[in-house]
């Protein structure tokens, strides 16, 4: 596997070095009185496409990144070419995550959505824990510009099809309505066919809501990798050098090692990293699932006679009912299903998610 890029220093290093030790690793919840995921589709759960979770498509820099990067691994080749505004960043990806979440939610409601989404800018900012000030709208416009301008050339499969393709991360963005002071209200975003194909093929995974609260771009990238490779398993290990390549870092290994150690130390102190606890021993990074899992080979162990609930749905349930023991809720739901006479469920996953969401709404755990 190779990563080629021009600068030799990992751009995230300054931002991490400047962070005070007494600063919480998580951003505040900027919209505490609103459900972060009540968007255009009421039960949209944050989803990310697996192709970009696996490969370093987005820049982790907090400054304009004008590098052209090439990444190769196991026959997959991906080149990321910036526009004059620089590469799309991991924070710009929030927009794609929001769009993907909306598409999946519509599909779960039986719709067949197209590549173009009509959205309210305010909902997008709230859902991704961004500021809704004038600056927040300007940053959103810049992010859309970088997503449209960044060009990807790759042979990575999406939807089971492999072909060399050249595309932008979004095909088009159009602001359809503004306020008197120039803030966008409504906009349309047309996804690239590559991203859209991933969604339609359901090559997506759920993200924890605190993903949008992680301050450090580097931690967001680490979480993506852990979510992709560890998933609902008990643990996942990765060597330091391989993690560095998957993050898209070209910094000296000693610098990268120091960054990882700092993240591990912060997680030990704050337990802030979503879903997984992180430790490092002898350049091996260990991600351990924070739940006591009742799984065998990534499959939920059936509880008595019950509808099948897959691991991804269990993760969705954890998102809509934060703080709850999801497996205890599953047991309660199965008992309810038996008490109701084992009715036929059109969507067992949807029924279970609805059960968990209502329980959280009635008795939220803070």
pLDDT in tens, 108-165: 777 889 999 999 999 999 989 999 888 888 999 999 999 999 999 988 766 666 668 8
The CA-CA-CA angle for residues 312, 317, 323, to 5°, reads 130
Rounded Cα distance, 170 and 189, in Å: 7
C-beta of residue 47 within 8 angstroms of C-beta of residue 206:
yes
C-beta of residue 301 within 8 angstroms of C-beta of residue 295:
yes
Rounded Cα distance, 271 and 284, in Å: 19
Rounded Cα distance, 337 and 109, in Å: 22
Burial of 164 (0-12, 13-18, 19+ CB in 10 A): exposed
Both tokens of residue 208?
């924890």
pLDDT mean over 271-282:
93
Listed residue (156, 122, 126) closest to 50, CA to CA: 156
Domains identified in the chain and CATH numbers? 33-213 (no CATH), 215-294 (1.10.10), 311-363 (no CATH)
pLDDT tier, 300 (very low <50, low <70, confident <90, very high otherwise) = very low
pLDDT in tens, 205-261: 989 888 999 999 999 999 999 999 998 788 999 999 999 999 988 889 999 999 999
């Amino acid at each position: 596997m190779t990563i080629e890029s021009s600068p030799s220093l990992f751009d995230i290093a300054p931002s991490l070095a400047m962070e005070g030790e007494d600063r919480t690793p998580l951003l505040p919840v900027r919209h505490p009185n609103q459900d972060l995921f009540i968007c255009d589709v009421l039960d949209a759960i944050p989803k990310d496409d697996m192709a970009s979770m696996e490969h370093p498509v987005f820049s982790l820099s907090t400054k304009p990144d004008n590098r052209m990067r090439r990444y190769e691994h196991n026959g997959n080749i991906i080149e990321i070419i910036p526009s004059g505004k620089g590469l799309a960043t991991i924070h710009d990806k929030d927009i794609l995550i929001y769009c993907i979440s909306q598409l999946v939610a519509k599909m779960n409601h039986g719709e067949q959505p197209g590549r173009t989404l009509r959205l309210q800018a305010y909902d997008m900012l709230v859902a991704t824990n961004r500021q809704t000030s004038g600056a927040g709208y300007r940053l959103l416009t810049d992010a859309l510009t970088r997503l449209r301008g960044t060009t990807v050339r790759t042979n990575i499969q999406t939807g089971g099809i492999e072909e060399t393709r050249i595309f932008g991360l979004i095909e088009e963005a159009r602001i359809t309505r503004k306020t008197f002071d120039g803030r966008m209200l409504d906009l349309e975003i047309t996804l690239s066919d590559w991203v859209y194909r991933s969604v339609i093929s359901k090559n997506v995974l759920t993200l924890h809501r605190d993903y949008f609260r992680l301050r450090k771009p580097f931690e967001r990238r680490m979480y993506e990798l852990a979510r992709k490779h560890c998933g609902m398993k008990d643990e996942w290990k990765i060597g330091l050098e391989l993690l560095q390549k998957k993050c898209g870092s070209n910094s000296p290994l000693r610098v990268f090692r120091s960054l990882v150690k700092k993240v591990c130390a912060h997680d030990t102190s704050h337990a802030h990293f979503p879903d997984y606890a992180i430790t490092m021993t002898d350049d091996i990074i260990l991600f351990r699932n924070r739940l006591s899992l009742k799984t065998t080979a990534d499959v939920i162990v059936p509880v008595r006679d019950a509808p099948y609930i897959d691991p991804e749905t269990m993760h969705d349930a954890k998102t809509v009912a934060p703080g709850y023991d999801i497996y205890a809720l599953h047991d309660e739901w199965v008992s309810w299903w038996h008490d109701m006479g084992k009715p036929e469920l059109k969507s067992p996953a949807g029924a279970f998610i609805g059960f968990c969401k209502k329980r959280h709404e009635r008795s939220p755990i803070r």
